């Protein structure tokens, strides 16, 4: 009888360890909300306190940079992601952050263009850029340089890193038509080896979105 009890106990313990090893970790909705709101408030200089939480399973497909993430057996991996959404209205989003359920890492965040409000001075700069004729290209290059500088300063502050690398993700190209406002994307490489894609707008010089390009999946 004692032997049977011992064997049964051993089986239960083994099964418990097996399920623990095989089960995917999950930080939970409450923690995801806390992480998401903290990230949104830091990156977008806001003070949101409430958000909606949903969770979805996504496959790791080939992304824009051509990278493929697999589980090691040539099969596409899947991952659970928390969506932390600050609503602007019933069908509109003010801010949103995507968080890996297994690690709590924020892999993407953005704000709606509706949030971007230009000051009177910025409106004047936008109008002048649009109205330029013969010197339009030079004026646009000046605007690009100011945006690049703003992105570099923003990244140094947010990542607390004075030795980061900033690369223009657009290879110096400028839009072929005259516009009052434009967005620009940059690669930011921090001292810990993380690579981010940061998109900002001119003339507001505000962050539009940020994505982690080489984060951990699990």
Identify the helix (H) or strand (E) that includes residue 99.
Answer: strand 92-100
The residue-averaged pLDDT of 184-198 equals 94
pLDDT at 99 over 80: yes
- CA 75/CA 149 separation, integer angstroms: 42
pLDDT at 37 over 80: yes
Secondary structure letter of residue 70 according to DSSP: B
What is the maximum alpha-carbon separation in the chain? 96
User: How buried is 120 (Cβ within 10 angstroms: 0-12 exposed, 13-18 middle, 19+ buried)?
Assistant: exposed
The residue-averaged pLDDT of 26-55 equals 97
- CA 144/CA 204 separation, integer angstroms: 12
- CA 185/CA 167 separation, integer angstroms: 9
Nearest CA-CA partner of 169 in 120, 123, 208, 125 = 208
Identify the helix (H) or strand (E) that includes residue 151.
Answer: helix 136-159
- CA 98/CA 55 separation, integer angstroms: 9
Residue that wins the pLDDT comparison between 39 and 88: 39
Q: Among the listed ranges 62-71, 157-166, 181-190, which one has the minimum average pLDDT value?
A: 62-71
Give the pLDDT score at 217. 47
**Contact assessment for residue 131 and residue 140, using Cβ atoms and an 8 Å cutoff:** no
pLDDT at 126 over 80: yes
Burial pattern 168-197, b for ≥16 Cβ within 10 A else e, equals eeeeeeeeeeeeebbbbbbebbbeeeebbb
**Contact assessment for residue 167 and residue 187, using Cβ atoms and an 8 Å cutoff:** yes
Secondary structure (3-state) at 67: coil
Give the pLDDT score at 165. 95
Secondary structure (3-state) at 55: strand
Give the pLDDT score at 27. 96
């Amino acid at each position: 009888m004692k032997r049977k009890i011992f064997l049964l106990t051993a089986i239960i313990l083994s099964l418990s360890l097996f399920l623990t090893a095989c089960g995917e970790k999950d930080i939970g909705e409450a923690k995801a909300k806390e992480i998401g709101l903290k990230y949104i408030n830091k990156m977008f200089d806001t003070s949101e306190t409430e958000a909606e939480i949903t969770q979805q399973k996504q496959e790791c497909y080939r992304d824009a940079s051509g990278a493929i993430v697999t589980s090691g057996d040539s099969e596409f991996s899947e991952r659970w992601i928390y969506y932390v959404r600050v609503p602007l209205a019933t069908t509109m989003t003010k801010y949103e952050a995507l968080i890996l359920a297994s690690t709590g890492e924020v892999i993407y965040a953005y704000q709606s263009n509706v949030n971007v409000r230009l000051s009177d001075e910025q409106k004047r700069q936008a109008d002048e850029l649009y109205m330029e004729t013969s010197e339009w290209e030079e004026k646009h290059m000046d605007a690009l340089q100011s945006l690049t500088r703003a992105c570099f300063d923003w990244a140094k502050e947010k990542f607390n890193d004075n030795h980061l690398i900033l690369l223009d993700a657009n290879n110096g190209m400028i839009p072929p038509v005259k516009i009052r406002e434009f967005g620009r994307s940059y690669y930011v490489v921090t001292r810990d080896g993380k690579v981010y894609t940061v998109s900002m707008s001119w003339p507001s010089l505000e962050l539009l979105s940020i994505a982690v390009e080489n984060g951990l999946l699990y």
